[in-house]
Structure 1
Amino acid sequence: MKTLTILYIGRNQEITDTMNRLLNAREEWKGITTCLEEEALVMVKDIPIDLVLLGNGISAAAEEKLRADLIRIRPVLKIIQHYGGGGGLLYSEIMAALNG
């Protein structure tokens, strides 16, 4: 089975740390996290990322710009919002995004 590389971008460092732990708890996932948009853009350029999760605290205007920048770098990149809920909910959101 292919390992999925998932990038989480959030504003709250504590939540971002938790997401890093949750994403890397599954053997089939490799989680990468950041609170910085600029760092996220570099990661998308340099790492074959399968999915981006946008976390809480990102304003609507910042999210719109971030989505546009990410898609400009990698047009087929899947991007979804994730505002909470670990375990089963997180798994379901990720699998739905990848299969949809």
Structure 2
Amino acid sequence: MSKINILVLASHPEILETIIRLINKNERWNGVGVVSPEEATAAFEITQFDLVLLGVGVNDETEQRLLQTFKSLNSDVICIRHFGGGSGLLYSEIEHAFSGRKL
């Protein structure tokens, strides 16, 4: 079974590092982190991501622009907001995003 590729956009490098570390603890997931919308778009153009987590620092306009770009490259991608709250919430958000989907 291939890993689920997860792109995380978060404006705080220390928080991003923690999120990526937590994601990569799960053997079924592969997390890649970026700190800017431009980096997110560039990463998405070269890697097939299944899920995008958007951190608190992403405003609504940027979120909509990114969502449109990501969906044009991969119509099946899931984009969700991540509001923090520890590993339990992070894992729950990711699992919930894929509930009802076969991967």
Q: What's the TM-score, normalizing by structure 2?
A: 0.87
For the residues of structure 1 that align with 2:50 and 2:81, how far apart are their CA atoms?
14
Distance in 2 of aligned mates of 1:71 and 1:54: 15
| Equivalent residue number for residue 60 of structure 1 | 60
| Residue ranges of structure 2 left out of the alignment (5+ in a row) | none
Runs of 4+ with >3 A deviation: none
The alignment partner of 1:99 has SS state of coil
SS of structure 2 residue aligned to 1:57: coil
Q: Distance in 2 between matches of 1:27 and 1:69?
A: 28
Q: Paired residues, what number? A: 100
| 1:28 maps onto 2:28 in alignment | yes
RMSD of aligned residue pairs (Cα, Å): 1.4
Q: Deviations over 1:31-74 (max 9, x none)?
A: 10001212211221211211100011111111111111111221
Amino acid at match of 1:47: T
- What is the CA–CA distance in structure 1 between the aligned matches of 2:88 and 2:81, rounded to whole Å? 16
Offset at 1:98? 1.1
| Partner of residue 39, structure 1 | 39
Aligned mates of 2:85, 2:21 — CA distance in 1? 13
**Contact 2:37/2:62, CA 8 A, preserved across alignment:** no
Q: Does 2:69 match 1:69?
A: yes
Normalising by structure 1, we get a TM-score of 0.89
Listed as ranges, the gaps of 5+ residues in structure 1 are none
Question: Is the CA contact (8 Å cut-off) linking 1:22 and 1:86 kept in structure 2?
Answer: no
